[in-house]
Amino acid sequence: MADRMTIVEGDITRLDVDAIVNAANESLLGGGGVDGAIHRAAGSELQAECKTLGGCPTGEARITRGYALAARHVIHTVGPIWQGGGSGEEDLLAACYRESLGLAAGNGLKSIAFPAISTGVYRFPPERAAGIAVGTVHAFLHGDQPIESVIFCCFGEASVQAHEKALAALGGD
């Protein structure tokens, strides 16, 4: 399963995959960080479609078209705001990855790219988040799923290293 996961450093808005995941806020109407970058790169049609969705609770995901992006779809998920770890943040973050993967699989998508959800302004500790991300994706890929490629698109060397460490901890599986 680890051979179906790749770690890259770069701009998720430029990836040519079936879907990129947007670390969105509950309104789905754009914001800062990766959310704002995806909305800017996709064009105004993305926001117009997002307005029809009625938002998204933390831990859930919604799918839209990709519009001007190289990716055919955007899967919007709302990660938890880190509050010290005692408010179910780890379970909610894992749910973001599971829900996004489930939407991708349910829509027949084969490739998906994730940012490091909740590690920016939501302050989730990056190493902890990377472990949850890689572990949740690994577990999902063990099922009978059509997804062939999962990319962790990191912003910065520290995020790359955290994801590489989490992937190495899985061993060769």
How many helices (H) and strands (E) the chain has is answered by: 5, 6
Over the chain (173 residues), what is each successive 10-residue block's mean pLDDT?
89 98 96 94 97 97 98 98 96 98 97 97 96 97 89 95 95 66
CA distance 28 to 72: 18
Catalytic residue among 3, 11, 16, 35: 35
Q: Could you confirm whether 144 is annotated as catalytic?
A: no
Query: Which domains does the chain possess?
Result: 2-169 (3.40.220.10)
pTM given for the model: 0.96
Cα 41 to Cα 31, 64, 102: the distances in Å are 13, 14, 25
